[in-house]
Each structure stands twice: as C-alpha cells, then as structure tokens.
Amino acid sequence: MMQKICIMGLGYIGLPTAIVAAEHGFEVVGFDIDIQRVERINNYDPVIQEPESIERLQPLIASGAFRATTILEAADCFLIAVPTPFKEDKKADVSYVIAATQAIAQVLKKDDVVIVESTVPVGLTDDCARLLEEKTGLKAGEDFFVAHCPERVLPGKIFFELVNNPRIIGGVNPESVTRTKLFYKQFVKGQLYLTNATTAEMVKLVENSSRDVAIAFANQVAAMAYATRLDPFEVIALANKHPRVNILNPSCGVGGHCIAVDPWFLVETFPEQSQLLQTARTVNDAKPLQVVSLTRSWIQEWQERNEGIPTVLVLGLTYKADVDDMRESPALAIAEKLQKYSDINLLVTEPNVAQTTLESLFNDAVVSLQEGIDCADIIICLVPHKQFKDIDHSATRNKKILDFCGLTYKPHVETSEQEALFWPANSLQSMTPFEPYKAGSIHKTIFDKEFF
C-alpha cells in the first residue's frame, strides 16, 4: 500500500504536488535542504508566488497532513522535484537529482517507488535506478520501482494543470509503471500514457525543443521581414492562412527555465543528431542583441530628423506576457543594454513587477504606463502584457513605435465577405517605423507614400 509520500524539493513543482497529494489522502512529507524554506512552509508561508497556494497549504499544515522537513525519513514513495539547470558549458547540472537519489538510498526499503519529475537528460532515470541498486543491494524493477514522470505545468495555473493535464509515466520496467501509476491515479484526471523511462525523458526534452525551433523560425522570418522593411506579423498572419502552416509570433527572445535550457540536454547527448536544435538556440540567444541593434539604428534615424536626446520607453520586462517573473528575461537584458547608452533618455514600465524591485534596477527611469507614453518619443514594445493592449492609440500618433512582440499589429480589415485587406498601411503607417520596401528604381515610382 502506498500511504506515505516524500517530495524531494519544495519549489514550483514539488510544493504544489505535495499539497495536491496531501489533499487526496496521502500522508505527505516535504524534504528540502533549505532550512529557512522548510520553517517558512511549516509556518503556513507557501514561499512560491502561485495562486491558491496559501489557502490550500494552511489547512494541510494545520491538520498535519503535510509537513516540511530537512531530515529525510522513510516513505512508500519518493518524488524527486529538484532543479536541473545547465552549467556554463551548456551541459546539464544533474547534481541535485543525484544528491536526492543518494539521500533516498539511505532510507529505501522493499516495494518503495521512486519517481523522477525533474527534467533530466536521456538515460538518467536508469542511472538513478542503478545508483539505488548499488547503494542498497536491492534490485530495481523487482525490489523497488523507478519511473520518470515529467512535469508539465504552466506557472499561474499549476494547481489546475497538476490535476487535469495528461501525464506520461515512463518506468525502468513495466512493473515500475504499474506501481507508479497508483500514485498519479489518486489525483490526475488527465490521460495517463505509459511507456519506458528513456522514451519519457526524450519526449519531455523533444516537446520543449520543438517550441524552441518553432520560435527560432518565427525569429528568422522576422529578421528577413525587417531586412525588407515588411511587417513580420503581417507575413506570418498571411502564411498561417495556409491550412497546414502554423508559425508562432516572433518575440524579443526566449527566456524562462525550460525552452531555453532543455534543448541543450539533447545537444549534450546527441551532438551529431541535433544541428537544427543548436542553430535554433543560437538564433534565439542572438535575438535580444538584434533587438538592441535594430533599436539603435532606429534611434539614429530619429536623431537625424530631430533635435536633442530622444526619450525611449521600454514596454515590459518580464520573460513572457502576463507573468511577474523577470528571471532569464530577454526583455530585461535588452533594457539593461539600452540603459548604458547616454544619448537617449530611457524609461521603463512593467505593471506586473513591484515598483521597489524595478527601482533597484532602473532607479528613476521607472514610470507608469501613462507617464511613459506621454513623455516618449520612441516606444519599444517587448512584452505583450494585457495592460498594454488598451493603450489609447491617439496618444501615440506622433511617436515612433518599434514593436518586437506584435502588440500593435492589427491583423486585417475585412473589406467584404470574401476579401480581407492586408495592405501594410494598416499596421505600418503610424505604428512602426518601416517604410515600404524600396529595392530598385521602380520602387520609387510605385511605392510612393501617396498610395498608403
């Protein structure tokens, strides 16, 4: 019988999983090496910024259904949810997973189940099983059971997705799958896909790599469009009218802890089979600097036509829209680069992050959205937060707008039942600095301002 669960690592995955497991009748112990974190949790502080976490944590701590500890104890099931970052050389840092496994070895007993939820390089779950065999003398797949069950939850919707998402359970042998699913069946409503550990590991890495390659393609289309002075969002919107084409929107870069990291785990294991993933990483990593460079050249254009120092407003600093997380954020990196130039007056606005945090980075350059719009000569759109979508466009009429995230793109004008006008004028006229493409002498005649 699986009654007592030990969750290793009380971060964005471990803590919500511990809470949900405890709510579903398991006796749950949360293990973490950070004593302060453990004490805060035991004092009803959820430590993570996730909706519902306070309300759901408190009754479980009060009733004793869940408690945190720094001293590992025996359990029926161990769930590893520690970080796997990458090192300077882009190799996976699996030391936390190995340390967790070694700790488990000290308390592992017959019939226990060990689940790796951390994202890991292909083959590591089998290596963990071997390590446990070596340390305990027990036999993996017979005496104890090991599986990889990759997490896939969206920050901000973790409690919903933990229950409703489909899960992949990959065992080191079939019996390990059978034992592991007993845990997830208690609370997962989504489909359970059962496979082996190696397949599960590769599936998780392939999912995130596929997003990375798709974003890199969008960023390449954007670069080609910029070079031609076309609107990249227009090109992509039109291409997506093809029934089998679905290009993502370009952005100012790829941030966060998954999509920019996981492809390197595959590159490390498969250097000869991953050229496309490597190129995609190079393309996406280069994007923030390209944004800075395009911004610089547009500032120069402004300076050729105007007197004085332009006021440049950056819209958005987080790593993606509608989150409060600035870690690994390309928008933040871009703003920090722009801060170094003395020939502009930089302003930043970020409605999802506390004023004090912003001021510690940008001092008095931090403004409200309205203040920024009022003062700016040039507006640089980096993150399409929902607050930015309500900007009154009459207030931006005489300003130069550089939109790297599609915030200002209006898809098209339906001119009749059968027709939709995508003439660049819609989005380019006042909202972006682009002029129509002028390649040869003909363009001077044909692409005249009057047409727009």
Q: DSSP labels for 291-334? A: HHHHHHHHHHHHHHHS-SPPEEEEE--SSSTT----TT-HHHHH
Shortest Å, Cβ 249 to a copy of itself? 13
DSSP designation for 228 = H
Q: Residue 150: name the closest of 210, 99, 80 by CA.
A: 80
Shortest Å, Cβ 21 to a copy of itself? 18
Give SS3 for 300. helix
> Which one is catalytic: 77, 128, 149, 204?
204
> Which one is catalytic: 128, 149, 258, 405?
258
Query: What sign does the CA torsion over 32, 180, 257, 389 have?
Result: negative
Give whichever of 1 and 442 is closer to a copy of itself, judged by the CB atom: 442
Shortest Å, Cβ 354 to a copy of itself? 30
Shortest Å, Cβ 451 to a copy of itself? 5
Do β-strands 145-148 and 167-171 pair in parallel, antiparallel, or remain unpaired? Answer: antiparallel
Give whichever of 153 and 353 is closer to a copy of itself, judged by the CB atom: 153
What distance in Å separates the CA atoms of residue 73 and residue 227, rounded to the nearest whole number?
A: 61
User: What contacts 115, CB < 8 A, 6 or more positions away?
Assistant: 77, 78, 79, 80, 146, 147, 148, 149, 180, 183
**Is residue 258 annotated as part of the catalytic site, yes or no?**
yes
Give whichever of 187 and 302 is closer to a copy of itself, judged by the CB atom: 187
Question: What is the phi/psi pair of residue 432, to 5°?
Answer: -135, 165
What distance in Å separates the CA atoms of residue 51 and residue 157, rounded to the nearest whole number?
A: 8
Shortest Å, Cβ 206 to a copy of itself? 5
380 beta partners:
314, 402
Q: Which residue has the tokens 């036509």?
A: 305
Give whichever of 46 and 288 is closer to a copy of itself, judged by the CB atom: 288
CB 180 within 8 A of CB 171: yes
What distance in Å separates the CA atoms of residue 110 and residue 116, rounded to the nearest whole number?
A: 18
Shortest Å, Cβ 414 to a copy of itself? 9
Give whichever of 69 and 178 is closer to a copy of itself, judged by the CB atom: 178
Give whichever of 30 and 150 is closer to a copy of itself, judged by the CB atom: 150
Shortest Å, Cβ 165 to a copy of itself? 9
Encoding tokens for residue 12? 């964005």
Q: How far is CA 203 from CA 73, 172, 206, 212, in A?
A: 32, 15, 5, 14
What distance in Å separates the CA atoms of residue 85 and residue 92, rounded to the nearest whole number?
A: 6
349 beta partners:
315
Q: How far is CA 221 from CA 28, 384, 386, 403, in A?
A: 49, 19, 25, 15
Q: In what order do the strands lie in the sheet with 378-381?
A: 345-349, 311-315, 378-381, 400-403
Give whichever of 246 and 368 is closer to a copy of itself, judged by the CB atom: 246
**Is residue 204 annotated as part of the catalytic site, yes or no?**
yes
Q: Which residue has the tokens 């910024």?
A: 49
Give SS3 for 143. coil
Shortest Å, Cβ 37 to a copy of itself? 30
Give whichever of 4 and 296 is closer to a copy of itself, judged by the CB atom: 296
Give me the active site residues, please: 204, 258
